[in-house]
Structure 1
Amino acid sequence: MATVTAGIAAAVLLAGCGAGDAGKAPASTSKTGASATPGSKGAFEVEAALKNADPAPYSVEITTKSFTGSTLTVVMTGRMNFNGSGPTGKMTLKSSDSVPKDQAFEAETILLEDATYTRTRGADGALGKWQRTELGASYAGASDYGAYAQLLLDLGPKARKGPTEVDGAPAYRLSGNLTQDQLRSVDRRLYDKMRATGTEEFACDVWVNESGRVVRFEQWVGASGNSAHNVATFEGFSAPVPVNAPK
């Protein structure tokens, strides 16, 4: 159960960036969709791309794979809206085949600006009732993942890893460690989670495209004494989608 719990914590923390330890694995290779070999072809200035990113609200398909060690434990998929007054969306979390059957789970979450709704699928395959959790007025999330890219840029030259590619398209990779204090004014949801778990800093990598959008995100998470790693991909950028409370 500890393995499953770590995976769930990793996926849930992705509502912001994530909480992790300072030590982390090397950058991803092309096998996971992101090339770690910088090149001059298609290079662009990442700072300008972030600054000039369209401020209009948008939605994007997100797939997150959470690993405990090298074992895939949780997959989270769904579409999220960003650049509004707060992130909203619908996500499904499901344990992988590596999780024992008596510990397997599936859950659906609806994230609104003022509350979250969650329901789980029971052993009989039936979905349970929606459970509502209120979010306080000060419990705001980041407008979008570009906020974390900017925080990494603020760390200086050491965070700039150079131009690369994600799924064959130009991107720029940023990498570094961020602290609780840096998250306080950017993502209060994640800040409060970090305080609750006693996490002082986390390590993350961000890949930004020419439009200033984050197209890939990796984070390293410490939860209940376990080391977890999240890999998130973003695709299918489009107009915002309606997200309503369940009836």
Structure 2
Amino acid sequence: MTMRIGRCGVVALLLGASLTLAACDGSSSGDGKRPAAVAEASASPSAPRDFDVEQALASANSNPYSAEIKRVTRFDTIGLAVVDGRLNLPGKATGTLTVRIYDSPISKASRSRVVLTRTHTYVKVEEGENAGGWKKGGRQTGSPLPDLHGYAELLLAQGPSARKGIDGAADGVPAQKLSGEIPVGKLEKIDPSLYKMARQIGLESFACDVWVDDKGRVLKLVQWAGHSSGGSVTVQTDLSDLDDPVEVEPPTGN
């Protein structure tokens, strides 16, 4: 499979279509092999508790909650970008995020703040090109995150080979790990921004891991693709500190 990742392609992987305006101002090919750092990334909890991941996903409810979000994009061990903050989930996410893009061959350094309300996206570039006050835009997608539950369901459908057993996820919470390769054609509904980008660059599939807790919530998603230089571009999303939903108000001032 062939993959060409420019700056906005990385940002699309990071943020989803609704947030690319926060950081965007474009070669690589992948073999689908898991980077060693990703394969060894999770730590086993001190007292793992087994559960049926299929039953957990099937019984997951849609009760609202909030979570700390951290989404990191790396080329091998080099950090390209970090998105972190707190979001209300599931469904149409609201919350506040900080977007940091680091200097690299495909990006220029910047730092932005993002506020997501039910109806609008507010972006303030604090450092870098186009720094200035708050800019208001519409909500083009429901969430800056992909459908994490959808990713877990796609991997679960691949059968026993995708089930890797109990493992540690965010904060060492016991979780079932699912692992496999997903065809791009399966992503149109669960990750539309990645689906569109992958179709444009000719990517047919990519590898990913997810970690699911006993309530059927995905606490971690890791996606990666190989690069022509021999390294890998990796995007890791972690959810932690799950709690009640938080109030989100539009920003005031400059």
TM-score, with structure 1 as normaliser: 0.75
Shift of residue 133 of structure 1?
Answer: 4.2
TM-aligned CA distance change 1:58 to 1:164, over 3 Å: same
CA contact (8 A) 2:12 2:193 kept: no
Shift of residue 242 of structure 1?
Answer: 2.7
Q: Which moved more, 1:164-173 or 1:154-163?
A: 164-173
TM-aligned CA distance change 1:9 to 1:189, over 3 Å: closer
**Out of 90, 93, 98, which is 2:96 matched to?**
90
Alignment RMSD (CA, Å): 3.8
Shift of residue 4 of structure 1?
Answer: 6.5
SS at 2:50's partner residue? coil
The superposition leaves residues 161-207 of structure 1 with CA deviations (integer Å, 9 ceiling, x where unpaired) of: 12222344321110112223212233434433433444332221101
What is the total number of aligned residue pairs between the two structures? 233
Matched, 1:25 2:25: no
Taking the aligned partners of 2:47 and 2:17, their CA distance within structure 1 comes to 31
- For residues 97-246 of structure 1, the aligned pairs below 5 Å read 103-112=108-117, 115-122=120-127, 128-136=132-140, 139-141=141-143, 144-166=147-169, 167-221=171-225, 227-246=232-251
TM-aligned CA distance change 1:3 to 1:179, over 3 Å: closer
Taking the aligned partners of 2:6 and 2:225, their CA distance within structure 1 comes to 13
Aligned to 1:75: 82
Shift of residue 99 of structure 1?
Answer: 5.3
Aligned to 2:72: 65
Taking the aligned partners of 2:146 and 2:65, their CA distance within structure 1 comes to 11
Aligned to 1:52: 59
Aligned AA (1:28):
A
CA contact (8 A) 1:179 1:201 kept: yes
TM-aligned CA distance change 1:95 to 1:198, over 3 Å: same
SS at 1:34's partner residue? coil
Aligned to 2:23: none
Taking the aligned partners of 1:194 and 1:110, their CA distance within structure 2 comes to 27
TM-aligned CA distance change 1:53 to 1:140, over 3 Å: same
Give the unaligned 5+ runs of structure 2: 19-28
SS at 1:121's partner residue? strand
Taking the aligned partners of 1:69 and 1:194, their CA distance within structure 2 comes to 20
Aligned AA (1:88):
T
Aligned AA (1:186):
I
CA contact (8 A) 1:140 1:188 kept: no
SS at 1:24's partner residue? coil
CA contact (8 A) 2:126 2:132 kept: yes
CA contact (8 A) 1:117 1:131 kept: yes
Taking the aligned partners of 1:165 and 1:24, their CA distance within structure 2 comes to 18
Aligned to 1:34: 43
TM-score, with structure 2 as normaliser: 0.73
TM-aligned CA distance change 1:211 to 1:164, over 3 Å: same
Taking the aligned partners of 2:214 and 2:241, their CA distance within structure 1 comes to 15
Taking the aligned partners of 2:116 and 2:225, their CA distance within structure 1 comes to 22
Shift of residue 112 of structure 1?
Answer: 4.5
Shift of residue 115 of structure 1?
Answer: 4.6
